[in-house]
Structure 1
Amino acid sequence: MQESISLTGNIPEQDAGKRLDQSLASLFPDYSRSRIKEWILEGGVTIDGTVVDKPRDKVLGGEQVTIEAQIEVQGQHQPEAIALDIVYEDDDILVINKPAGLVVHPGAGNQSGTLLNALLNHCPEIESVPRAGIIHRLDKDTTGLMVVAKTIPAQTHLVAQLQAREISREYEALVNGIIVAGGTVDEPIGRHDTKRTSMAVRAMGKPAVTHYRVMEKFRAHTHLRLKLETGRTHQIRVHMAHLQHPIVGDPLYGGRPKPPKDASETFRQGLREFKRQALHAAQLELAHPVSGEWMSWQAPLPQDMVAMLELMQQDKRDNPEDW
């Protein structure tokens, strides 16, 4: 479903010599440069009454510009009354604490019951924002904080922050094995050669950087705090597996449960029954897209990770000779 928009204005004199797409992105800041470039290529932009189709063309300054374009809206998806754990909301943005099991965006096999369906129900006006304002994703079984834009201008500014790596995202994870000290993984990530749904460290992949530090060490596991510098698909999961310390319970990259020697049956059973990656988006920080105010939110660990952490701590207390 598409919605028509019409924009008019005059290119500032001081823009003389700039690229057309660059000048128009400044003139109409509610829309991204990439979106404006698409409109130019589609023939939706006229300068002084003449259609232009080359984003690289230089402007003279003072020209009158008109844009007639189409924006995709979410008409094909239905609103659904799905409860949301809302951490913060104003006229421009929404921050939620996503539970495990909630798919973010409809796709093959998941046309309903997603976060997008819930957003359309919670704030129907978000239908006019591409992807219902979803700026970044969390995997289905990863929990924690996500920001959603409620307007196109807010989305444009948040996407720009994300691309400039100005949005801070920190996670907590329980991983297999003992990590002695913190560090950084700087390894490119791309689609796995043979496993269609998996990613992998690949020389020709996209740059990916993950920083991590140790919060607590156990007999056979480590509690980590991680910070994303980039946001590739499955990034933390792939990077931890690359270090030979996959996330506990990870169905794609984790392998079998790895209890320590002489672990209690309660602990062993807890590991066997933990069927999702023990990964949680614990902190989110960004500049508000309208006010510019620096904002920060935290979300406590979900109960299943708290319970697993308690089992690890109990195992550590029960075996003091190993420390």
Structure 2
Amino acid sequence: MSQNIQLQGEVEVHQMGQRLDLTLAELFSDYSRSRIKEWILTGQVTVDGEVVDKPRVKVVAGQRLSIDAVIEEEVRSAAENIELDIVYEDEHILVINKPAGLVVHPGAGNADGTVLNALLHHVPDIDTVPRAGIVHRLDKETTGLMVVAKTVPAQTHLVTALQAREITREYEAICNGLMTAGGLVDQPIGRHPTKRTHMAVVVNGKPAVTHYRVAEKFRAHTRLRLRLESGRTHQIRVHMAHIKHPLVGDPVYGGRPRPLKRAEESLREQLKGFKRQALHAAMLELAHPITGEVMQWHAPIPQDMTQLTEALRADAKANPLDY
């Protein structure tokens, strides 16, 4: 499936002498500069009716610029009838509440059965949008809110907003150890130097900032609310492990859990059997990519984290002198 794009505009006085690709990006801001550059290089742009295939060409005021392009199908994955928990949907975007165990994008070991496959079934035209409209990801075992773009203009605006840190994402987590106060972790994240499937705090990594505050204290665990300034792979999990407070159940960064003294056997078993990182994307706020309206959504804490919180709360009440 493909989509035809036809756009026309005129070079304004203040744009005189600019590069063609920059001018087009200003005139047609619904599309990324990289996409526009690709259209120029493939001969899909004309200046006063003549094809121009060099992005660096300087423009002159009054010139007529036209784009007659085709957006080819971006996705080769198959559509699958996988149920999505849709929190919000209109003609431009949709917001889903992802369950644990659902992979967002096909990859090694997960060729199908993903959010992307489900989106292709729910919105067939989304195959013309980069990455099937997926703007940001959640790890397989992380639950919560994700926004998806249904059109190229919506996707372009959402990616720009995400890069400009204009999208707010707030997470709920349960970490090991008793934390006394909130704070922030400002440490670069990159590939682990020896474990290539893991991430780590590394000197030459990409900048990453995680804000956290204490929501509730237990005897040897803490419930946190966290906000991201950046969106690096495994960011919260890596940052919390870096400050010696890994997330409960994290199979990669959690380390060996310490037994909780004088705890009921049921709580011990619950902690031992919590096999995923206790992390949930609870709140998402953004300006709608087309209307500009500020919108906010909340996703209820999943049952496994709620049950663990209640058990830790009961344990703390039964042992009031231990924290």
Shared fold (TM-score greater than 0.5)?
A: yes
Structure-2 residue corresponding to 1:222: 222
What percent identity do the matched residue pairs reach? 66
How far 1:120 moved relative to its partner? 1.1
How far 1:318 moved relative to its partner? 1.5
CA separation of 1:72/1:101 partners in 2, compared to 1, >3 Å: closer, same or farther? farther
- The answer to whether the Cα contact below 8 Å between 1:100 and 1:142 also exists between their aligned partners in 2 is yes
How far 1:37 moved relative to its partner? 2.6
How far 1:62 moved relative to its partner? 1.8
Structure-2 residue corresponding to 1:191: 191
Q: Does 306-315 or 8-17 show the bigger shift?
A: 8-17
Query: What code does the residue aligned with 1:124 have?
Result: P
Counterpart secondary structure, 1:65: strand
Structure-2 residue corresponding to 1:158: 158
Query: What code does the residue aligned with 1:289 have?
Result: P
Query: What code does the residue aligned with 1:52 have?
Result: D
User: Take 1:204 and 1:72, find their aligned partners in 2: how far apart are those partners?
Assistant: 36
Query: What code does the residue aligned with 1:298 have?
Result: H
Q: Does 1:53 find its partner at 2:54?
A: yes
Residue pairs, 1:7-26, within 5 angstroms: 7-26=7-26
User: Take 1:186 and 1:61, find their aligned partners in 2: how far apart are those partners?
Assistant: 46
CA separation of 1:75/1:162 partners in 2, compared to 1, >3 Å: closer, same or farther? closer
Q: Does 62-71 or 251-260 show the bigger shift?
A: 62-71
Q: Does 1:84 find its partner at 2:77?
A: no
- The answer to whether the Cα contact below 8 Å between 2:175 and 2:223 also exists between their aligned partners in 1 is yes
How far 1:268 moved relative to its partner? 1.1
Structure-1 residue corresponding to 2:103: 103
Q: Please list the CA deviations of residues 157-196 of structure 1 after superposition, one character each: whole Å capped at 9, or x if unmatched.
A: 1111111100000001000111110001111111111111
Q: Does 1:175 find its partner at 2:175?
A: yes
- The answer to whether the Cα contact below 8 Å between 1:42 and 1:53 also exists between their aligned partners in 2 is no
How far 1:258 moved relative to its partner? 2.5
Structure-2 residue corresponding to 1:269: 269
How far 1:246 moved relative to its partner? 0.6
Q: Does 1:206 find its partner at 2:195?
A: no
Structure-2 residue corresponding to 1:295: 295
Structure-2 residue corresponding to 1:241: 241
User: Take 2:144 and 2:270, find their aligned partners in 1: how far apart are those partners?
Assistant: 22
How far 1:270 moved relative to its partner? 0.6
How far 1:13 moved relative to its partner? 3.2
How far 1:38 moved relative to its partner? 3.2
Query: What code does the residue aligned with 2:227 have?
Result: K
CA separation of 1:121/1:16 partners in 2, compared to 1, >3 Å: closer, same or farther? same
How far 1:249 moved relative to its partner? 0.5
How far 1:53 moved relative to its partner? 1.8
How far 1:156 moved relative to its partner? 1.0
How far 1:51 moved relative to its partner? 2.1
Q: Does 103-112 or 165-174 show the bigger shift?
A: 103-112
Give the superposed CA RMSD.
1.7
- What is the aligned length? 322
User: Take 2:70 and 2:206, find their aligned partners in 1: how far apart are those partners?
Assistant: 31
Q: Please list the CA deviations of residues 187-221 of structure 1 after superposition, one character each: whole Å capped at 9, or x if unmatched.
A: 11111111111111111111100000000111111
User: Take 2:312 and 2:170, find their aligned partners in 1: how far apart are those partners?
Assistant: 22
User: Take 1:103 and 1:136, find their aligned partners in 2: how far apart are those partners?
Assistant: 12
How far 1:155 moved relative to its partner? 0.8
- The answer to whether the Cα contact below 8 Å between 2:43 and 2:51 also exists between their aligned partners in 1 is no
Which consecutive unaligned segments of at least 5 residues does structure 1 have? none
User: Take 2:306 and 2:72, find their aligned partners in 1: how far apart are those partners?
Assistant: 41
Structure-1 residue corresponding to 2:278: 278
How far 1:257 moved relative to its partner? 2.3
CA separation of 1:71/1:258 partners in 2, compared to 1, >3 Å: closer, same or farther? farther
Q: Please list the CA deviations of residues 45-99 of structure 1 after superposition, one character each: whole Å capped at 9, or x if unmatched.
A: 33331423234x4322222223354534245211111111111111111000000
Counterpart secondary structure, 2:169: strand
- The answer to whether the Cα contact below 8 Å between 1:173 and 1:279 also exists between their aligned partners in 2 is yes
Which consecutive unaligned segments of at least 5 residues does structure 2 have? none
User: Take 2:186 and 2:321, find their aligned partners in 1: how far apart are those partners?
Assistant: 36
